[in-house]
Amino acid sequence: MHDQRSLSLPQIGAGGVRESWHDRFAESPDVLKSTRCEQTIVPVLDLEIGGDEFITMAGPCSVETEFQLMATANHVRRAGARILRGGAFKPRSSPYAFQGHGLKGLKMLARAREESGLAIVTEVMSESDVTMVAEYADILQIGTRNMENYALLEAAARSGRPVLLKRGMVATVADLLRSAQCILDYGNPNVILCERGIRTFETATRNTFDVAAIALLKQISHLPVIADPSHAAGHRDLVPALARIAVAAEADGLLVEVHPNPDKAWSDGEQSLDFDGFDEMMVSLDPYLALRRQSLSMRALEGVRAMEAFG
Ligand code: PEP
Ligand code: MN
């Protein structure tokens, strides 16, 4: 099946990835699809990221108060989210802005997991905090500003927790894949890639949502890909449309900011959905998710037919 070199141009190599992509991303060979690995499925509690289920991770930008976190956790769970997000360590551009509650925030997240049953994803900013964050979190988030912090990548990888790797705001797809390759090299196969918008000349949106990168990553890499429409858009009104686009581009899930009272949020309020907005977004995703399910089962059927044809 893979030996079609003489028949087709451009050539299709291992794992159905064009040879030209293999050349282009030669520095990160292990993140590319191969006959050995077509899709990585990252296990998180009872969930699988990168499998058939589209996984929504939702919650506030920062963990603020017990009430804010619990109310959000309970609401997003009822609306269909499977993972709770929330920052206890916040990378802020101003030293005067709220930097996060640190350990106290991690403990609040752990209580929210107990109460809601949701898994927890939270950012770790420093290699010296990795052990502590890994004790409370189910997934370690590496933020956009740290995508090339290799000491942090190594420590996060060695913690054994799944790593959600956000694309640097001026990182190319090759840069993102190189960082993912580092985590694999340090012995951790459970990497989730996250497109969260990149910096371009456009300033109307906070970042430019690189939807082509999602489609490309899904074609070439076996790692799960999730989309963060909140940081990409910077405005809550745009978040649902970007979320729908992410489903159509074949993302494996979403990372979305939700707050009980976004106008009073301690960080990223403009891009945070309120509870009604989150419900509406989730409902608006339904027909797109139905199409996704259809195409997954069609692909599975094609796979079975191809196996049968091979005898
Ligand atoms: C966040 O998820 O709140 C965050 C800080 O994201 P990013 O690193 O993409 O800016
Ligand atoms: Mn944020």
> Which atom of ligand 1 has the smallest separation from the CA of 255?
2
Give the pLDDT of residue 310.
77
First CA to last CA distance, the chain:
13
Residue 11 DSSP label:
P
pLDDT of residue 1: 44
Helix (H, G, I), strand (E, B) or coil at 68: helix
Is the Cβ atom of 259 under 6 angstroms away from ligand 1?
no
Name the residue of 170, 228, 254, 270 whose CB sits within 8 Å of the most ligand 1 atoms, as the mutation to test its pocket.
228
Element (H, E) at 255: strand 253-257
The packing angle between helices 173-185 and 211-220, to 10°, is: 40
Q: Is the CB of 144 under 6 A from ligand 1?
A: yes
139-163 residue pLDDT tens: 999 999 999 999 999 999 999 999 9
Cα–Cα distance between 49 and 141 in angstroms, integer? 14
Placement of tokens 């060695």 in the chain = 158
pLDDT of residue 10: 58
Q: Is the CB of 91 under 6 A from ligand 1?
A: yes
- What per-residue confidence (pLDDT) applies to 11? 73
User: Which residues of the chain are under the pLDDT cut of 70?
Assistant: 1-10, 14
The pTM of the full predicted model, rounded to 2 decimals, is 0.95
pLDDT at 303: 84
> What is the Å distance from ligand 1's center to 250 Cα?
22
The closest residue, in CA terms, to atom 1 on ligand 1 is 61
| Cα of 61 from ligand 2 centre, angstroms | 4
Ligand 1 proximity of 166 Cβ (cutoff 6 Å): yes
CA atoms of 189 and 184, how far apart (whole Å): 5
**Would you say 184 and 222 are in contact if contact means Cβ atoms under 8 Å apart?**
no
Q: Tens of pLDDT along 26-80? A: 999 999 999 899 999 999 999 999 999 999 999 999 999 999 999 999 999 999 9
pLDDT of 9 reads 52
